[in-house]
């Protein structure tokens, strides 16, 4: 596969974390009607679907096992990472080697496990559904709506913090006070030292989508997590929270009361590709980076 854009020695992290979980059961309402019959994770960024960027980031961070939590109408995600013998035969017949290679590379990329989330009860519920697939070991979570472009894969930066602290890790970025109500906002534990030049920050907890007046900091959780298996016990006990959903944030907050949890301020640029505006911006980013003809 192409690791263009990433300068990271993934051998450093191979085997540390074995599974990356992709919650992908949502309806993609912000993209309707485009997502009426098609999973939002399959929307293209130039020529690759969104989910492929996430899978490539996890691979580049040394993770080889991908588990996708899906729902009704998400078959196209599985098909994308499967072998398409008919298509390959046609491309071969036509001598279209470039596209044949691209199509084969995706099929060879990963072995996917899919887990069905029958009810949409929130991000925490989606993660809980994957408990059996993950087993009793630390694992990564990646939200496919949050694309992060940078020279080091964001998940690899979280991995670095995990290795150094042995704590659960959440990826964070700074947001304006007017934006806190869109994110989980972390509560830094200022009695403990930060590390990595202030980029790894011990936490007291996390609050889901507070308004500016109640936000404990300006550091917002963006869809990258490394979590210890204890999170599953916390999720089982987490009551329905904001919007009646089982919030991953609430379970991480409880976890932080009993185990170290740190935030890692990642260095890349994040795009919210679950919104049409963020998706357009991300398309421009990729196009300007890889297709000089667009400049």
Minimum distance of ligand G1P from residue 123's CB (angstroms)? 5
What three-state secondary structure class fits 66? Answer: strand
Q: Which stretch binds ligand G1P (CB under 6 A): 131-139, 147-155, 215-223, 257-265?
A: 215-223
Minimum distance of ligand G1P from residue 238's CB (angstroms)? 12
Question: Exactly one of 77, 140, 159, 221 binds ligand G1P (CB under 6 A); which one?
Answer: 221
253 contact partners, CB below 8 Å, separation of at least 6? 205, 206, 207
Tell me how far apart the alpha carbons of residues 64 and 292 are, in angstroms, rounded to a whole number.
32
Confirm or reject binding of residue 117 to ligand G1P (CB under 6 A).
Answer: no
Confirm or reject binding of residue 183 to ligand G1P (CB under 6 A).
Answer: yes
Q: What are phi and psi of 262, to 5 degrees?
A: -125, 160
Kindly provide the residue ranges of all beta strands, DSSP E only, lying in the chain, ordered along the sequence: 19-23, 44-45, 48-49, 65-70, 111-116, 139-142, 146-149, 168-174, 184-188, 200-208, 219-227, 261-265, 269-272
Confirm or reject binding of residue 222 to ligand G1P (CB under 6 A).
Answer: yes
- On the question of a cis peptide bond just before residue 129, with omega within 30 degrees of 0, the verdict is no
**Cβ closest to ligand G1P, residue 184 vs residue 268:** 184
Question: Exactly one of 41, 56, 57, 146 binds ligand G1P (CB under 6 A); which one?
Answer: 146
Confirm or reject binding of residue 187 to ligand G1P (CB under 6 A).
Answer: no
Q: Shortest Cβ contact with ligand G1P: which residue?
A: 184
Tell me how far apart the alpha carbons of residues 149 and 290 are, in angstroms, rounded to a whole number.
13
Q: Which stretch binds ligand G1P (CB under 6 A): 30-38, 54-62, 90-98, 243-251?
A: 243-251
How many chain residues are in contact with ligand G1P, going by CB under 6 A? 13
188 contact partners, CB below 8 Å, separation of at least 6? 201, 202, 203, 204, 216, 217, 219, 263
Confirm or reject binding of residue 261 to ligand G1P (CB under 6 A).
Answer: no
Minimum distance of ligand G1P from residue 71's CB (angstroms)? 14
Confirm or reject binding of residue 249 to ligand G1P (CB under 6 A).
Answer: yes
Question: Exactly one of 50, 126, 143, 148 binds ligand G1P (CB under 6 A); which one?
Answer: 143
Confirm or reject binding of residue 41 to ligand G1P (CB under 6 A).
Answer: no
Confirm or reject binding of residue 223 to ligand G1P (CB under 6 A).
Answer: yes
Burial of 240 from C-beta contacts in 10 A (0-12 / 13-18 / 19+): middle
By C-alpha distance, which of 71, 80, 145 is closest to 110?
Answer: 80
Interface residue list for ligand G1P (CB under 6 A): 123, 143, 146, 183-184, 208, 220-223, 247-249
């Amino acid at each position: 596969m192409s690791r263009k854009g990433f300068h990271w020695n993934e051998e450093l992290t191979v085997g540390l974390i074995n599974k990356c979980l992709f919650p992908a059961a949502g309806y993609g309402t912000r993209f309707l009607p485009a997502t009426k019959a098609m999973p939002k994770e399959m929307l293209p960024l130039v020529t690759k679907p969104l989910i492929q960027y996430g899978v490539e980031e996890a691979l580049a961070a040394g993770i080889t096992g991908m588990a996708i939590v899906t729902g009704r109408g998400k078959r196209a995600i599985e098909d994308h990472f499967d072998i398409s013998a008919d298509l390959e035969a046609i491309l071969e017949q036509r001598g279209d080697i470039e596209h044949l290679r691209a199509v084969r590379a995706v099929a060879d990329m990963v072995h996917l496990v899919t887990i069905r989330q029958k009810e949409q009860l929130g991000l925490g519920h989606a993660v809980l559904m994957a408990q059996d697939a993950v087993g009793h070991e630390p694992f990564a979570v990646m939200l496919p709506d949050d694309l992060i472009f940078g020279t080091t894969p964001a998940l690899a930066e979280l991995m670095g913090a995990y290795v150094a602290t042995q704590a659960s890790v959440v990826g964070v970025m700074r947001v304006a006070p007017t934006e806190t109500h869109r994110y989980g906002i972390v509560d830094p534990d200022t009695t403990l030292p930060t590390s990595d030049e202030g980029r790894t920050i011990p936490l007291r907890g996390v609050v889901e989508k507070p308004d500016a007046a109640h936000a404990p900091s300006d550091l917002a959780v963006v869809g990258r997590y490394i979590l210890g298996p204890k999170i599953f016990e916390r999720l089982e006990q987490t009551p329905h929270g904001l919007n009646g959903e089982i919030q991953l944030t609430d379970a991480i907050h409880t976890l932080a009361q009993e185990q170290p949890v740190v935030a890692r301020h990642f260095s890349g640029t994040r795009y919210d590709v679950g919104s049409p505006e963020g998706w357009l911006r991300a398309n421009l980013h990729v196009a300007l980076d890889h297709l000089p003809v667009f400049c």
